[in-house]
Amino acid sequence: MQANTTQPAPEKETRYKGVRLRQWGKWVAEIRLPNSRKRIWLGSYDSPEKAARAFDAAFICLRGGEAIAGLNFPESPPAVVARTTDPREVLAFATSHANLLSLLDAAIAQEEEAHSFKKEEEAQVEEKTAEESSDVVRANAAPPPPVQVAGGSFDWSQLPLYSPTTTPAAEHWEEDNVEGDIPVCSEMSVETSSNSRYIGVVFQMHSYG
């Protein structure tokens, strides 16, 4: 059994009134004057739709606003203008209407680009504000908790600070014990209920005679 090799039929190209494709790839538009063999040249365009809109504008110029039924795009007719058969006026109106959508598209694209740029600027401002707020929070943050000793939760910062003082009794002792008893210090370890160990100093009296 032979496979079917028939290619699908190509999509039929849309044909517009007054529009032709030239060999160099441009689409041209022209229109015939009413009750005459003369034609008015309406320009060359890069798409058939533009050329078709040029024909519609020229058609309205020549036949008036009531001739909408004969347009390529009756759903979007050109603005009604005074009827004229002057080729220069017809060409000017046709060219203007043909390029109208292109101008609108360019304006919309420009507006969208400006809107996108504005959004980007707003995002940068918000990011900078967030960074500044974060810096302020860090600057006002509470200091870190005191260092804890191993095996307990004793807060060394709570220990009272004492300054050494000299009492009259100590001065008298120094005078009487120049050659007598000499204190010797030794370390003392005390276990607390929180398993913390305190290191103290104990003075012991030793006599040397």
Q: What's the structural domain count of the chain?
A: 2
pLDDT-derived band at 10, boundaries 50, 70, 90: very low
Predicted confidence (pLDDT) at residue 167 exceeds the cutoff of 90: no
Round to whole Å and give the CA distance between 44 and 144. 79
CA distances to 2, 99, 102 from 60, rounded to whole Å, are 56, 16, 20
Sign of CA dihedral 186, 192, 198, 202: negative
Q: Which pLDDT score, from 0 to 100, does residue 100 have?
A: 86
Residue at a domain's end among 80, 98, 116: 98
DSSP for 112-148 reads HHHHHHHHHHHHHHHHHHHHHHHHHHHHTPPPPPPPB
Q: Which pLDDT score, from 0 to 100, does residue 194 have?
A: 47
Round to whole Å and give the CA distance between 55 and 50. 9
Q: Is residue 170 part of a domain?
A: yes
Q: Which of 83, 89, 86 is nearest to 66 (CA)?
A: 83
CATH number of the domain at 81, please.
3.30.730.10
Predicted confidence (pLDDT) at residue 132 exceeds the cutoff of 80: no
Residue at a domain's end among 79, 98, 117: 98
Neighbours of 81 (CB within 10 A): 15
Q: Which pLDDT score, from 0 to 100, does residue 128 have?
A: 78
pLDDT in tens, 34-85: 988 999 999 999 999 999 999 999 999 999 988 889 999 999 888 878 899 9
Q: Is residue 74 part of a domain?
A: yes
Q: Is residue 3 part of a domain?
A: no
Q: Which pLDDT score, from 0 to 100, does residue 6 have?
A: 59
Tokens of 161: 């600070």
Residue 160 and residue 93 in one domain = no
Are 3 and 22 in contact by the 8 Å Cβ rule? The answer is no
Predicted confidence (pLDDT) at residue 97 exceeds the cutoff of 50: yes
Q: Which pLDDT score, from 0 to 100, does residue 152 have?
A: 53
> By residue range, what is the domain housing residue 56?
19-98
Q: Which range (84-93, 130-139, 198-207) has the least confidence?
A: 198-207
Q: Is residue 114 part of a domain?
A: no
